[in-house]
Amino acid sequence: MRPPPKLEQLSLSDKELSDLLTNANENYGKYHELREKYLAWQEWYREQKEIYEEVK
Amino acid sequence: MFYLNFIPDSYLLSVINAVLLASVIGLLIGFLITFIPWLRPYRPLINIISTVLLALSMYFKGSYGADMEWRARAEELKKQIADAEERARQVNVRIETQVVEKVKIIKERVNDNKKSIQVQKQVINADCVIPDVARVLYNNAVDNEISGGTGESDASSTEVRTTKSK
């Protein structure tokens, strides 16, 4: 299991609005990926628990 | 009755039933011998043997029945567990496939946006420069991590924060 990626900060040379938009785009992408993985974990746990309860 | 496991079931049942039948017949014969005077001396022996065989056959019949019940129950549980394992495996495959697909779509959208930003760069940047304080405050919002632990090291920012993160 790998730890989640960290968000990117703006560097000292990033002074333009397009740099900010690029950075935000990358960070939001990471957030959405993490969200999907988080939801998948929840769904996996729920379904496996259901299967276990039926056999128990 | 572990030794029952070493003998084929059908053979075992046949033997038990044969002994049971023989004991019942023996008891009947023991009763009928009363009317045959020259066979009367053998009556006690026949009755004793038949009674012992009846007791033994009833005992083994009961053991056999109980053993068969346990075996059937064990088979049923084994099947339930195998079904559950298969379903769990299918859930794993389905969820993994879904996540891989969704992450792929997200990455595609991020790339598309990135290209659009590059294409529209001049329009976006017209008369707009991000002041340093805005950059620092933006980075404060990005860097709100609480827990430490293993992960990618972030050496990009060495600035002092202007405000404390909550």
CA distance A32 to chain B (A): 7
At B129, phi and psi to the nearest 5? -125, 135
Q: Which of A13, A24, A34 is nearest to B142 (CA)?
A: A24
C-alpha–C-alpha distance, residues B133 and B150, integer Å: 30
What is the per-residue pLDDT across B139-151, written as a single tens digit (0 to 9) for each? 888 887 676 544 4
* Mean pLDDT of the region B87-110: 96
CA distance B2 to chain A (A): 27
Model pLDDT, residue B141: 86
C-alpha–C-alpha distance, residues B84 and B87, integer Å: 5
B102 and chain A in contact, CB less than 8 A: yes
Chain B residues in contact with A7 by the CB 8 A cut-off are 142-143
In chain A, whose CA is at the least distance from the CA of B119?
Answer: A18
What is the per-residue pLDDT across A1-56, written as a single tens digit (0 to 9) for each? 788 899 999 998 888 899 999 999 999 999 999 999 999 999 999 999 999 998 88
Query: Where is B123: in which H helix or E strand?
Result: helix B121-125
Q: Which of B52-56, B65-69, B162-166 has the lowest average pLDDT? A: B162-166
Model pLDDT, residue B94: 96
- In sequence order, what are the residues at sequence separation of 6 or more whose Cβ sits closer than 8 angstroms to the Cβ of residue B30? B43, B46, B47, B50
Model pLDDT, residue B12: 85
Model pLDDT, residue B5: 65
**Type of residue at B100:** V
Cβ-defined contact of B130 to A40 (cutoff 8 Å): no
The pLDDT of residue B162 is above 70: no
Chain B residues in contact with A47 by the CB 8 A cut-off are 91, 95
* Mean pLDDT of the region B98-113: 96
Model pLDDT, residue B147: 62
